[in-house]
Amino acid sequence: MTLTPPPLRNDCFALPTGVDWTPVDEALALLKTRMHPVTGEETVPLDQALGRVLSRDVLALRSNPPLPNTAVDGYGFAGAVVEGSHVLPLITGRAAAGLAFEGVVPRGHAIRILTGASLPKGVDTVILQEDVTVDETHVAFRGPLKQGANTRKAGEDVQEGGCILPEGRRVTPADLALASATGHAHLWVRRKLRVGVLSTGDELVEPGQAARPGQIYDANRPMLLALLQHMGFESRDLGAVADDREMLRARLTEGAAHTDVILTSGGASAGDEDHVSALLRDTGALQEWRIALKPGRPLALAMWEGTPVFGLPGNPVAALVCTLIFARPAMAVLSGAAWQVPQGMDLPAAFSKSKKPGRREYLRARVRDGQVEVFRSEGSGRISGLSWAEGLVELPDGAVQISPGDLVRYIPYDSFYS
Ligand code: AMP
Ligand code: MG
């Protein structure tokens, strides 16, 4: 384990003065400049590296393929073959993957060779076994065949010393193939980012408990904890607290001691019961980012005893959208990963909508038969729509008038997890 980088500064969320509603792209650009990695690094064996963030560039310790070899089963010999029929004497022995043929194949002779075998000395070209007739002593086939046909050059895929994976990348199953093939048994990765999740509100009850009239079950916490796991972070359940400033203070302090980031939901507006923003304003260097976004409220960003706090709206729909659009790329950078832009695609709409200018808007959506459908209601409390959806439609900041068949930008939920 090496040194852990310093935490974020207390003024890291400060906004330029005089800014009113900040467009989404500007808010993201600002967030990008303010975040930096806060986790230390360690080495892990390949079988524990999946989903982890690389803390260093990975260089190939070995070329792939390490030696020239054959891409097919067949017969190897030297040089190009001209048009017409050819008969070559076969030498005894064969070359197979992992079992190199140690001798030399004399000019004008051929050798049996199997896929993956290193090319023996005297062989640079291979003819496919389907294209020959063969007996005990000779192989016959028709040209032409180019020199080097059906072979792979040493290092044609990866050269020894070349960068195979960049720092900040989240390791995929295919990356493990590449790392292993080029000689790695371990990788340098960041320690996992620990993210605490805290729900707030007098109305919340725990799943399994009896709910009085007026009380509701906590929907945000199970969703956010699961999302964080999907994103490769280590989630910490900080529970739910009532709208009570002292309890909230104690819970934040307790949480901050064991986490790198805290996500709270609820109580983040400017209302009487919005204790999260009130407390953070007094003690946590609160910055209210009024972002031109729907659904969403001002995003409360603060530092609590060295730990950044994202104060998310209480509405589950707004909480999810704010997490995906803002908290996720910020947390990615804190975790040592590169800044991430979710990849969307332009697909024909299966709906109509007219949108006023001013705010970027995200709708719950899914794709069926190549067309984007949106949930029937845009109500921010409609949890069933979150579950119905498989992604979001992103509508631009300006006014738009969408008719069926018009292209709209669809971002699958999966784009936010990788
Ligand atoms: P707030 O941001 O505290 O004003 O909450 C906005 C709305 O979201 C209210 O209707 C809350 O009851 C609801 N809400 C807040 N937290 C949660 C939660 N954890 N699960 C479900 N709904 C919530
Ligand atoms: Mg509340």
pLDDT digits (tens, 9 = 90+) for 303-352: 999 999 999 999 999 999 999 999 999 999 999 999 999 999 999 999 99
Quote the ligand 2 centre to 65 CA distance (angstroms). 60
pLDDT at 241: 96
- For ligand 1, say whether the CB of 199 is within 6 Å of any of its atoms: yes
User: pLDDT, tens digit, for every residue of 115-137?
Assistant: 999 999 999 999 999 999 999 99
More confident residue, 2 or 176: 176
- For ligand 1, say whether the CB of 257 is within 6 Å of any of its atoms: no
Query: Which ligand is closest in space to the CA of residue 297?
Result: 1
CA–CA separation, 279 and 308 (whole Å): 14
Q: Is the pLDDT of residue 17 over 90?
A: no
Q: Residue 1: which pLDDT band, with cuts at 50, 70 and 90? A: low
pLDDT at 192: 97
Overall average pLDDT of the 381-410 stretch: 96
Overall average pLDDT of the 191-202 stretch: 97
Q: Is the pLDDT of residue 413 over 60?
A: yes
Overall average pLDDT of the 143-170 stretch: 97
Each as own residue / partner, the long-range contacts of residues 115-120 (CB below 8 Å, 24 or more positions apart, any chain) are 115/70, 115/71, 115/72, 115/73, 116/69, 116/70, 117/69, 117/70, 118/67, 118/68, 118/69, 119/67, 119/68, 119/69, 119/70, 119/76, 119/95, 119/151, 120/76, 120/95
Which of 200, 315, 380, 383 has most ligand 1 atoms within 8 Å of CB, for mutation? 315
Quote the ligand 1 centre to 388 CA distance (angstroms). 20
- For ligand 1, say whether the CB of 201 is within 6 Å of any of its atoms: yes
pLDDT at 389: 97
Quote the ligand 1 centre to 312 CA distance (angstroms). 10
Query: Which ligand is closest in space to the CA of residue 271?
Result: 1
- For ligand 1, say whether the CB of 315 is within 6 Å of any of its atoms: yes
Q: Is the pLDDT of residue 32 over 70?
A: yes
User: pLDDT, tens digit, for every residue of 261-276?
Assistant: 999 999 887 777 788 8
Q: Is the pLDDT of residue 13 over 90?
A: no
Q: Is the pLDDT of residue 19 over 70?
A: no
pLDDT at 18: 62
- For ligand 1, say whether the CB of 295 is within 6 Å of any of its atoms: no
Quote the ligand 1 centre to 314 CA distance (angstroms). 4
Quote the ligand 1 centre to 201 CA distance (angstroms). 7
pLDDT at 282: 86
Mean per-residue pLDDT of the chain: 94
Kindly write down the DSSP assignment for every residue of 1-12, as one continuous string: --PPPPPPPTTT
Overall average pLDDT of the 7-14 stretch: 87
